[in-house]
Amino acid sequence: MSEFDVIVVGAGPAGASAAIRLASNKVNVLLVDRADPPGSKNVSGGVLWGDSLSQVIPDWEKSNMLERYVEAKGVTFLTKDSKISIDFRSKKFGEYKSGYTVLRTKFDAWLAKKAKDAGAMVVSGVTVDKLAMKDGKVIGVEQSGETITSDSVILAEGANSRVAYDSGIKKKPEDQKIALGVKEVIKLPEKTITERFGLTSPKMGFASEYVLGFLDGGVKAGGFLYTNRESISIGAVISMGDLRKNNQTYSFNVIEQFKDHPFIAPLIQDGRVEEYSAHLVPEGGMSVDSVYGNGYMIAGDTAGLTFSNGLVLQGMNYAVVSGILAADSFMERKSKGGDMNFENYQKNLENTFVLRDMNNFRGLDQVTWSESIHSTIPAIAEDAMLNIFSENGNPKKHLSQIVISSALKQKDKRKDLAVDLYRMLRRM
């Protein structure tokens, strides 16, 4: 007889969602987090996109743990001197769900409390060392030489997946499967943020992703800037492969270059940096050979369930859905008295956007981290815009002529551009 039906390792959106789902269905569940309070080592951008959380917390949108609702979404290219951006704002974000900005320490502690309220046992400040195995089956977890037993384990420990590595169920990531996220939280008055970003109320927020095409040494990185109630979350997601190739740029300085850009600096002016943080970001889809095995399932960042196409950066919503499905898959098996080898979890994931997105957009990271996106296209756009929006006394040209002549200036890169555009059309 096991001590628990399920042990969930990691109190982030994946683990907490799984625990809430299980506990609400009278499953005997232990949620264990190595941070104390739970969630206080968790970091993300972060916008929680979509409405997946309503499956476990129906009134989650009423929570005062949410910062601002995204009514303005940006996608921006930054070159050394210019900013080229889409700033999409819509009243229809009332009916079409966008997302809420969140600060994870507060938000994740709240999720863990929801799990506790639902009946889960929540333990914090306890580090699981690895999965406990017997006869090729996971029978619980090991912690300081002791085994805590359970019928199954849901592993949701995040991108830096030590338990998975040390249990031999996940290989350490190659450079192209991981990026480094570096972030700062910058304090500003609520009113200043609302005014500065042209927001319609203090409850409404702005979220933008950036292509940082101007960094020293050609390091490739994406940027993000999200408005919280009384702070701004700003950060850079740096390609590990490029940083290695470059080998002279300090990761912690990339975010400062972003902040110092002439069109970013005014947005954070007079703000006080309150916190600095860093976290790994899984890239390029699933990062494990299998999301399940005998007696365990893998959810969220640990499984590499994140999505980025340059226009959006998403992870928490995939985490929530995978956590809920892992819980459901356990209950499915339990009710049928079947074994604890969870191929039903894999199938359940395949039936949702989670694995469909991973499959449909496989290889997209080759585009998002390409030279074309980070330098060629921004250079063409900048040159074309300068031609279109300036007056130099010469007769005006047709738009197509301008774009072609701007593109021709990038002639060394035309072949790469053609390949990347083809990939983009196919995979985006």
Residues that bind another protein (CB under 8 A): 34-36, 39-44, 103-108, 124-127, 144, 159-160, 162, 172-173, 175, 178, 180, 182, 184-185, 231, 233, 240, 243-244, 246-253, 256, 259-260, 273-280
Q: Are 370 and 416 in contact (CB under 8 A)?
A: yes
The beta strands (E) that lie in 165-270 are given as 178-187, 204-212, 221-227, 231-239
Please report, to the nearest 10 degrees, the dihedral formed by the alpha carbons of residues 14, 41, 205, 373 taken in order: -80
Backbone angles phi, psi at 187, to 5 degrees: -75, 135
For another protein, the closer of residues 34 and 374 by Cβ is 34
| Rounded Cα distance, 55 and 60, in Å | 10
Q: Which is nearer to another protein, 117 or 174 (CB)?
A: 174
Q: Which is nearer to another protein, 33 or 420 (CB)?
A: 33
- Shortest distance, CB of residue 229 to another protein, whole angstroms? 12
**What's the closest the beta carbon of residue 184 comes to another protein, in angstroms?**
7
Residue 259 CB, nearest distance to another protein (Å)? 8
Residue 183's DSSP bridge partners are 235, 277
Min CB(179)–another protein separation in Å: 10
Task: Choose between 87 and 274: whose C-beta lies nearer to another protein.
Answer: 274
Q: Quick one: tokens of 46? A: 């972060």
Nearer to another protein, 231 or 376 (CB): 231
Task: Phi first, then psi: give them for residue 228, nearest 5 degrees.
Answer: -100, -175
Smallest separation (angstroms) from another protein to the CB of 276? 4
User: Nearest-CA neighbor of 46 among 347, 374, 368, 279?
Assistant: 279
Minimum distance from residue 242 beta carbon to another protein (Å): 11
**What's at 300, amino acid-wise?**
G
The neighbour count for residue 26, using CB atoms within 10 Å, is 11
Q: Which residue, 155 or 384, is less far from another protein as judged by CB?
A: 155
Measured from the CB atom, is 265 or 428 closer to another protein? 265
What's the CA angle centered on 106, arms 104 and 109, to 5 degrees?
A: 95
Any idea which residue has 């970091």 for tokens?
43
Q: d(Cα 49, Cα 29) in Å, to the nearest integer?
A: 27
Q: At closest approach, how far in Å is the CB of 280 from another protein?
A: 5
Nearer to another protein, 145 or 337 (CB): 145
Beta bridge mates, 277? 183
Q: Which is nearer to another protein, 246 or 346 (CB)?
A: 246
For the CB of residue 186, give the shortest distance to another protein in the complex, in Å.
10
In the beta sheet, which residues pair with residue 29? 6
Residue 67 or 420 with smaller CB distance to another protein: 67
Structure-block tokens of residue 299: 């959810």
DSSP string for 133-191: EETTEEEEEEETTEEEEEEEEEE---SS-HHHHHTTSSPPPPGGGEEEEEEEEEE--HH
Closest CB 146 distance from another protein, rounded Å: 13
Q: Considering the complex, what minimum distance in angstroms separates the CB of residue 64 from another protein?
A: 15
**Does residue 304 contact residue 174 with C-beta atoms inside 8 Å?**
no
Identify whether the C-beta of residue 45 lies closer than 8 Å to the C-beta of residue 374: no
